[in-house]
């Protein structure tokens, strides 16, 4: 796929407009479980427990498949997420998260299993009708380095009620380094979420410009 | 005669006090923009023995809780609870209105 735009350009667009994304911390004493299928390029499952509203600990499994079929990698990791800063405004909220972890990786392009470190940052800003987020995560092992950068910009056709179903239309751009994907993977997503007395459910799905499926689901309880 | 008058006055005062007793607490909260994220607030507030229902209104940035008869929760505990849930409390008020009246007032 050709590069239609660069990630810095998307980031600039993000900063110019208002921003909500899947947060790695639910609430104090809350659990988060997430699973994502990223257009055949990545798939990931994660689960976290938050002892406080500002940090969570958990584990995940990430699978990466290069778009040219040259390699695949599987990373199993332990990770901690921290809320570095939150802005609670009368009609909006902004957040900056940092995360880091360690795990083991196997791949078709190297022998055996390697220790892999990961680190990343995520920022989001949202109102009831507009939303944006930017996330970067870096993985390092002796055999490879790669980064996954994701930006999202969305709007809601209506302001959702607490006990209702929220609907969002979200544009997502994702850039992979390390030869995983050439160009920026762009997807248009329909996001739905709802809070119920037993927990919250989140589901989003849509096609990429390549016609592949991008989907994510999340549960907080 | 004086005894009867005193008893009547006390009974009247008691009835009046009961009628005026707080039945709900309303909190103005900043950062309340996502039902998915605000669920922690409801869980926390339901943990108080005094709580008789929780109502969250995202559009107006308010959280209200019904109180069981004759109970209350100190402001400091409420503020601490919402702060621990990740939100900023801008004001707390009590009302003799039941929770259902507050919901109705906000169009629900």
N-terminal to C-terminal alpha carbon distance within chain A: 39
For residue B105, pLDDT over 50 is answered with yes
* ipTM for the assembly: 0.81
Name chain B contacts of A93, Cβ cutoff 8 Å: 31-34, 37
CB contact under 8 A, A91 and B61: yes
Q: Cα distance from B54 to chain A (closest Cα, Å)?
A: 11
pLDDT of residue B47: 93
pLDDT of residue B5: 62
Q: What are phi and psi of B18, to 5 degrees?
A: -65, -40
Strands A110-126 and B88-95, by their bridges, are unpaired
B44: closest chain A residue by CA: A28
Q: Which of B28, B32, B34 best probes binding to A when mutated, by most A CB atoms within 10 angstroms?
A: B34
Name chain B contacts of A126, Cβ cutoff 8 Å: 33-34
pLDDT of residue B15: 46
B55: closest chain A residue by CA: A162
Q: Cα distance from A88 to chain B (closest Cα, Å)?
A: 4
B107: closest chain A residue by CA: A161
Q: Which residue has the higher pLDDT, B16 or B55?
A: B55
DSSP string, A40-67: TTEEEEEEEEEEETTEEEEEEEEEEE-T
Q: Which of A23, A88, A166, A216 best probes binding to B when mutated, by most B CB atoms within 10 angstroms?
A: A88
Name chain A contacts of B59, Cβ cutoff 8 Å: 128, 159, 161
B16-45: average pLDDT: 84
Interface check B34 vs A, CB under 8 A: yes
Name chain A contacts of B36, Cβ cutoff 8 Å: 166, 193-195, 200, 202, 220
Distance CA B26, CA A135 (A): 36
pTM of the model: 0.83
CB atoms within 10 A of CB A58: 22
pLDDT of residue A155: 97
CB B97 within 8 A of CB B24: yes
Q: Cα distance from B60 to chain A (closest Cα, Å)?
A: 8
Q: Mind listing the pLDDT tens digit of every residue in chain A (221 residues)?
A: 334 344 444 444 333 333 335 777 878 888 999 999 999 999 999 999 999 999 999 999 999 999 999 999 999 999 999 999 999 999 999 999 999 999 999 999 999 999 999 999 999 999 999 999 999 999 999 999 999 999 999 999 999 999 899 999 999 999 999 999 999 999 999 999 998 878 899 999 999 999 999 999 999 98
Interface check B57 vs A, CB under 8 A: yes
For residue B63, pLDDT over 60 is answered with yes
Name chain B contacts of A194, Cβ cutoff 8 Å: 35-36
pLDDT of residue A195: 87
Distance CA B88, CA A41 (A): 40
pLDDT of residue B40: 87
CB contact under 8 A, A193 and B39: no
Distance CA A146, CA B46 (A): 45
For residue B20, pLDDT over 70 is answered with no
pLDDT of residue A26: 77
């Amino acid at each position: 796929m050709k590069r239609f735009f660069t990630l810095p350009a998307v980031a600039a667009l993000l900063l110019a407009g208002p921003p909500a994304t899947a947060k790695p911390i639910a609430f104090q004493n809350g659990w988060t479980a997430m699973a994502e299928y990223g257009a055949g390029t990545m798939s990931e499952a994660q689960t976290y427990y938050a002892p406080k509203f500002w940090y969570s600990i958990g584990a995940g499994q990430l699978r990466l498949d290069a778009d040219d079929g040259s390699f695949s990698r599987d990373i199993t990791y332990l990770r901690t997420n921290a809320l570095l800063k939150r802005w609670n405004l009368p009609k909006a909220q902004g957040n900056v998260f940092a995360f880091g972890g360690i795990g083991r990786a196997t791949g078709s392009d190297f022998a055996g299993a390697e220790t892999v470190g990961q680190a990343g940052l995520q920022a989001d800003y949202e109102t009831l009708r507009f939303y944006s987020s930017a996330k970067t995560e870096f993985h390092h092992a002796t055999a490879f380095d790669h980064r996954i950068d994701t930006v999202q910009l969305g709007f809601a056709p209506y302001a959702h009620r607490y006990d209702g179903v929220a609907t969002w239309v979200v544009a997502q751009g994702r850039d992979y380094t390390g030869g995983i994907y050439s160009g920026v993977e762009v997807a248009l997503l329909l996001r739905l979420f709802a809070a119920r007395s037993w927990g919250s459910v989140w589901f989003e799905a849509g096609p990429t410009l390549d016609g592949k499926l991008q989907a994510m689901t999340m549960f907080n309880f | 005669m004086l005894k009867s008058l005193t008893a009547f006055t006390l009974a009247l005062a008691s009835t009046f006090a009961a009628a005026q007793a707080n039945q709900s607490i309303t909190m103005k909260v900043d950062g309340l923009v996502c039902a998915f994220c605000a669920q922690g607030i409801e869980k926390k507030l339901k943990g108080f023995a005094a709580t008789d229902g929780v109502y969250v209104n995202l559009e107006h940035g308010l959280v209200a809780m019904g109180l069981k008869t004759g109970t209350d929760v100190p402001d400091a505990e409420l503020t601490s609870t919402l702060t621990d849930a990740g939100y900023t409390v801008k004001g707390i008020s009590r009302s003799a209105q039941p929770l259902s009246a507050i919901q109705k007032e906000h169009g629900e």
